[in-house]
Amino acid sequence: MTLLFSMIFDFLLLPGLLFVFLLSLLGINLTLLNPFFVVLESVVKLVGNLFDKPIVFGKPDIIFLLLLFILSGLILDFYKKRNWNFSFYCS
């Protein structure tokens, strides 16, 4: 979830805010975008209220951490090989 919000911020919100800021330096006011920022604020508050704790890997258990590394390695390996055959056999 944190990765998703990070990607949305990096690729959508940050460039958009930079664009709005640069236009405001030229004297162009974009008051039409104010409802977008109000909705964005309400979405952030809603997501924050859904969970008691932040959705980050703070200090996971050692077993969960090992499982995360193993699954990440398997996903990366399957992605690189594009081999979606899950039968394990020796040749």
Render pLDDT for 5-53 as a digit per residue (tens, 0 to 9).
777 778 887 888 888 888 888 887 777 777 877 887 887 788 778 777 6
The closest alpha carbon to 46, from 34, 38, 35, 56, belongs to 38
The full DSSP string for 10-61 is IIIIHHHHHHHHHHHHTT---GGGHHHHHHHHHHHHHHHHH-SS-SS-SS--
Instruction: Kindly report the pTM of this predicted structure.
Output: 0.39
* 3-class state of residue 65 by DSSP: helix
pLDDT band at residue 84 under the 50/70/90 scheme: low
The whole-number pLDDT of residue 62 equals: 84
